[in-house]
Amino acid sequence: MTNDILFFRLYVLIILVFLLTFSFVLSKQLFMIIINQLKLMFLSNSLQKKVNFNEDFYFGLLGIYLLHGNLLISVAFSEFILEINNDLVVKDLIYASLAYSYYSNSFYSIAEYYYLKILSFAPSNYKAILNLAYLYSNLGYKTKANYLFIRARSLKPTFSDII
């Protein structure tokens, strides 16, 4: 009789531990869904009010989709923001995120296109030159990569330029 009660209590304890763990994971996922929905609602309100986007806001929303591996949604989101209004966004930021999205998913020619697009209207963009150099280096285009590394070194901002 006492063995039955002991096994029953052990069974209840195991079930409670499992349910607590499961509820923690579930509540964390629900919290993330609610936060993502609130960010999307804030985006729609911002678009209606034509509030300027800043870099942290854009990367926060883009990170929602990239974190879950939704390349198509992140690209569509970036293209949508580019098409809304030219005054709302900084184009090199959007193009850089598009290039990064494609580069991280091994679409190198499209990533190269967006890096070159950045350089077409901002030829001294240090980060774009450096990222394009890394792209060429990974693809085996050593001559192009070396040229861009030298160009990036000549444009590298010094500490006195930042202050």
What CATH number is given to the structural domain containing 120? Answer: 1.25.40.10
Angle at 84 between CA 79 and CA 87, to 5 degrees: 110
Q: Domain residues for 132?
A: 71-163
Residue 108 has pLDDT above 50, yes or no: yes
26-50 pLDDT, tens per residue?
888 888 888 878 877 777 676 655 5
β strands within the chain, DSSP E: none
Concatenated DSSP letters of 78-100: HHHHHHH-TTTS-HHHHHHHHHH
Number of domains in the chain: 2
Measured between alpha carbons, how far is 29 from 26 in angstroms, rounded to an integer?
Answer: 5
Does 110 fall in a domain?
A: yes
pLDDT band at 113 (very low <50, low <70, confident <90, very high): very high
Q: Are residues 83 and 156 in the same domain?
A: yes
Co-location of 47 and 83 in the same domain: no
In a domain, 30, yes or no: yes
- As a whole number of angstroms, the distance between CA 124 and CA 152 comes to 9
pLDDT digits (tens, 9 = 90+) for 74-91: 777 777 777 766 565 677
Distances, alpha carbon 62 to alpha carbons 24, 68, 82, 130, in Å: 26, 10, 13, 22
107: confidence class by pLDDT, cuts 50, 70, 90:
confident
pLDDT digits (tens, 9 = 90+) for 121-162: 888 888 888 889 999 988 899 998 899 888 888 887 654 444
CB 133 within 8 A of CB 143: no
Same domain, 40 and 83: no
